[in-house]
Every structure is written in structure tokens, then in C-alpha cells.
Amino acid sequence: MSVIVRVPTQLRQLTGGAGEVEVPPGTVRAVLGAVEVAHPGIEARLFDERGALRRFVNVFVAEEDVRYLDGLDTHVADGATVSIVPAVAGG
């Protein structure tokens, strides 16, 4: 049983260059926590001091933004893909 977490290029220095990390299913918070256990330092880039996702970090389960689901409590089923997507600013 596993979930694939897609890691953006900007964070791959924390995953040894890996673009994908395989972790057990659970909530989004648990999945990202498992990535932190495997690759320490990534949570500091994703979460603010209150434990909320940083404004410029978007997390998707399949194609759905977790902010429009149950947030960090969104369930991630076995076989699902979680994508960490940095916000893009421009003008």
C-alpha cells in the first residue's frame, strides 16, 4: 500500500533529486509527514509556524486542490498521487 508524492523541482534538493517519493496512505498531513521522515527539512518549506500550508504551496490529491476538500485532513487512498505545486506569480 502506497501513495506517490510528486515533488517540485524547487524541493528536490531535499529528496536527493527524486521527483517522486513513495509513502503509506493516510491523510494529507500524514502523507507529508512521512515524506518529512524520509527526507528531513521538507516540512519547513511546506508549512508555516502554525502548521498550516504556506500560502504559496498548493497540494493536490489526484487533480483536486486540498484547500477545496478537507485540507490537511483530506484522505489519500492507496494508489493515489499527491502533487506539491508551488504557486506561480506573474503579471
Report whether 28 contacts 59 (CB < 8 A).
Answer: yes
Would you call 63 helix, strand, or coil by DSSP?
A: coil
In a domain, 12, yes or no: yes
In a domain, 82, yes or no: yes
Please name the residue that has the C-alpha cell 500524514: 30
CATH number at residue 24: 3.10.20.30
Q: Which three cell numbers stand for residue 17?
A: 533529486
In a domain, 91, yes or no: no
Per-residue model confidence as pLDDT tens digits over 24-79: 999 999 999 999 999 999 999 999 999 999 999 999 999 999 999 999 999 999 99
Query: What predicted TM-score, i.e. pTM, was given to this entire model?
Result: 0.93
**CA 5 vs CA 38, 65, 66: distances in Å:** 12, 14, 14
Q: Give the count of domains, the chain.
A: 1
Say if strands 3-6 and 26-27 run parallel, antiparallel, or are unpaired. unpaired
pLDDT, average across residues 71-89: 93
Closest CA to 33 of 43, 18, 44, 21: 43
Which residue type is seen at 49? E
